[in-house]
Amino acid sequence: MIVPLIFVGSMYYTYNNATYLKNKLYDIFFGYIEVKCCNKNCNSIHKISRTTDTIIHNMSYACNMGCAMAAFSQEQELLEKKNK
């Protein structure tokens, strides 16, 4: 009973390490993932590794709260101008 559990656990551990190493090699050969801030006035570009939690768990990414709020207010101003 214990032998199959050890075998399955070692296969899972090996798979996770292989995925991590593959992503690290992709970062080295192809470069990092570049994300541009949505704020027109910010224009900052962030380089993110393929092994960060943002990419692995498919999370949303924002430059920071100030940039996110500024982009939201810019979008609201444009909508107000269109509606007039």
pTM for this predicted structure: 0.46
* Span 28-55, average pLDDT: 76
Q: How far is CA 71 from the centre of its chain?
A: 19
φ, ψ (nearest 5 deg) of residue 17: -65, -35
Amino acid at 9: G
Question: Among residues 61, 57, 58, 59, which one has the least CA distance to residue 47?
Answer: 61
Express each pLDDT in 44-68 by its tens digit. Answer: 787 888 777 666 666 656 677 777 7
Neighbours of 8 (CB within 10 A): 10
Residue 23 CB-density burial (10 A; 0-12 exposed, 13-18 middle, 19+ buried): middle
